[in-house]
Amino acid sequence: MAGDADDGLEDDRTGIAAMILRLRRRGITDRRVLAAIESVPRSLFVPPDARRDAYAERALPIECGQTISAPGIVGQMTAALEIGEDDRVLEIGTGSGYQAAVLSRLARRVYTIDRFRTLVEAALSRFRTLKLTNVVTMVGDGMLGWPEEAPFDRIVVTAAGDDVPAALKEQLRPGGILVAPVGPADGVQRLLRLTRTEAGWEETDLADVRFVPLIPGKAARL
What is the reported pLDDT for 8?
Answer: 55
Strands 152-157 and 172-182: parallel
In angstroms, rounded to a whole number, what is the distance separating the alpha carbons of residues 56 and 220? 33
**How many other β-carbons are positioned within 10 Å of the β-carbon of residue 138?**
16
What is the reported pLDDT for 185?
Answer: 85
**How many other β-carbons are positioned within 10 Å of the β-carbon of residue 191?**
22
Domains of the chain: 58-209 (3.40.50.150)
Beginning with the edge strand found earlier in the chain, give each strand of the sheet holding 172-182 in spatial order.
135-139, 109-114, 88-92, 152-157, 172-182, 189-197, 200-209
Catalytic option among 43, 69, 96, 104: 69
In angstroms, rounded to a whole number, what is the distance separating the alpha carbons of residues 207 and 189? 8
Catalytic-residue membership of 69: yes
Question: What averages of pLDDT result for each successive group of 10 residues across the chain (222 residues)?
Answer: 50 90 96 97 94 95 95 98 98 98 98 98 97 98 98 97 96 98 92 95 95 92 78
In angstroms, rounded to a whole number, what is the distance separating the alpha carbons of residues 199 and 64? 40
What is the reported pLDDT for 73?
Answer: 97
Q: What is the DSSP string of 25-87?
A: HTT---HHHHHHHHTS-GGGGS-GGGGGGTTSSS-EE-GGG-EEPPHHHHHHHHHHH---TT-
Residues in the chain: 222
pTM here?
0.93
